[in-house]
Amino acid sequence: MELKKMIKNTLMLTLISISCLFSDTSSFSSLSLGDIEPTLNNSTGFAFADSLILKNHNFASWAYLSNTSFSLSASYYAHSTENAEGVKSEYDRFTFEDISFALPFGNRHFFGFSYYPVSVTDITSVSESEVTVPESFENTSVMTLENKKGSISNISLVYGKGFNSFSAALHASFKLGNYDDVRKYKYTTYVWNSVDSVWITDWEKYFESSEKTQLFHFAAGGGFLYSSPLGLRIGGQFSVPLYSYVNKITGFERTTSYGTLVEEFSLNEYEVNNPEWPAEFGIGFAYNYSKFVFSYDYSAKQFSGLDLGIDKIALSNYSRNIFGVSYDPRHRKYDPYYKRMVYSAYFTAEKRPYEYGGEAIYDYSGTFGVNFPFNRDKTNIEIKFSLTQSGSAEDNGLEDKIFKLQFNLISSDSWRLKKEKYDD
């Protein structure tokens, strides 16, 4: 038992340390200004009540936890991006994704806390060649470099209550974020050298415009979970925005050819008028048949016509469909270890709220997961492998293939079968 406890503590310390040292904003999708509600967990969860799904954001399921419980999640992403011309780019990321904590008390009451990113971007774009400045009085061209980096994180405080076959939860959510958008311009003027019969550089100047956006959105919502007599579980959740605040700081400056002098032309700070955050809702179903659980989730966010205060890109509604199946062979105390593992597979189809090349962006993901239990300490480690295609070079002009390796560390005292059967 001491060995299991040592392994558990070592894994916890390792994941937390890696998260603190290497976490960064991540380009979940290179096709837009970051994903709004990225696919953090390619799994269903609205109608689950097991500790394996502690991380799902239908907090009503937490009412079935027995002891204090927590989850920690981190992922490795490997991207392969290609445009319509066949130009490819490959890069990878390590990202901290989720932490949740639940404290049951009394007769199925609980308080909870959850943190996870809802929008993340880290995109760099540069013009491949110099572009002639129209109507310039000299032979002047310009190259541009743009960096977008930032994120919005969700922090939720939760209270819930469970009954015989029904549970409900209320939560207050705070969305906090910062975005930096920096555009650099290099202007070059050429003159003709008649001696060598070539164009030579006459002068170069560098201009930079910056925009920092600070966001705060407050929303309130709730969720429910109902277990029918027929073995069908139905879960749902909703969230509505109550208050939004967005502040911008913009600047414009020039650097001399040799970078020895920076001239600041302007620096302006102001509040954005009437920023908005979308209403959200979701519903899910789960059916237990023998040792299998079949599930389906649908979630949506009403972005159409909203101004989030980040930029002026037109938004459309977001939706996600997830089909899942899990296999739980756990039965007896002395079963082989592989018979006490839980296996899961999911298929996800998502419509992003942004367009690229005038066409909607769709993501299609396949996921396979394995859960390894540590029985006496009520801890399990879940590993998931996902393959995603975001967009299409043929339809949008750009597509991103993503391999994701996700690690979930979950500690809880809630198991599908009676806990004494697993106290090896």
Cα–Cα distance measured from residue 137 to residue 189, given in angstroms and rounded to the nearest whole number: 10
Determine the residue type at 55: K
**Token pair for residue 157?**
């405080």
Exposure pattern of 345-357 as b/e (b: 16+ CB <10 Å)?
bbebebebbbbbe
Closest CA to 175 of 147, 150, 149: 150
In order of their start, the domains of the chain are 2-422 (2.40.160.60)
Q: How many CB atoms lie within 10 A of CB 242?
A: 13
Cα–Cα distance measured from residue 340 to residue 35, given in angstroms and rounded to the nearest whole number: 36
List the beta bridge partners of residue 252.
209, 266
N- to C-terminal Cα distance for the chain?
9
For 377, the 3-state DSSP assignment is coil
User: Could you read off the pLDDT of 362-406 as tens digits, one per residue?
Assistant: 889 999 988 887 655 567 788 999 998 888 877 777 788 888 898
Token pair 């639940």 in the structure block, residue? 102
DSSP code string of 308-368: -SS-------EEEEEEEEEE-----TT--GGGG-EEEEEEEEEEEEEEETTEEEEEEEEEE
pLDDT along the chain (424 residues), means of 10: 55 46 37 46 70 75 85 84 76 79 90 85 72 75 82 91 93 90 85 82 83 92 92 93 93 74 81 90 90 91 86 83 86 65 89 79 89 67 89 79 87 49 42
Contacts for 338 with CB less than 8 Å, ≥ 6 apart: none
Look at the alpha carbons of 163, 332, 231, 43 in this order and tell me if their dihedral is positive or negative: positive
Closest CA to 148 of 128, 118, 121, 126: 121
State residue 331's pLDDT score. Answer: 62
Strands 262-271 and 280-289: unpaired
Phi/psi of residue 165, nearest 5 degrees: -125, 15
Cα–Cα distance measured from residue 296 to residue 173, given in angstroms and rounded to the nearest whole number: 25
Closest CA to 248 of 151, 179, 315: 179
Token pair 């500790």 in the structure block, residue? 51
Q: What is the 3-state secondary structure (H, E, C) of 271-325?
A: ECCCCCCCCEEEEEEEEEECCEEEEEEEEEECCCCCCCCCCCCCCCCEEEEEEEE
Cα–Cα distance measured from residue 183 to residue 196, given in angstroms and rounded to the nearest whole number: 35
Task: Identify each DSSP E strand in 106-165 by its residue range.
Answer: 109-126, 131-132, 139-162
Count Cα neighbours of 277 within 13 Å in the Cβ-side half-sphere: 26
Closest CA to 236 of 247, 226, 246: 226
Cα–Cα distance measured from residue 306 to residue 313, given in angstroms and rounded to the nearest whole number: 10
State residue 23's pLDDT score. Answer: 38
Cα–Cα distance measured from residue 16 to residue 22, given in angstroms and rounded to the nearest whole number: 10
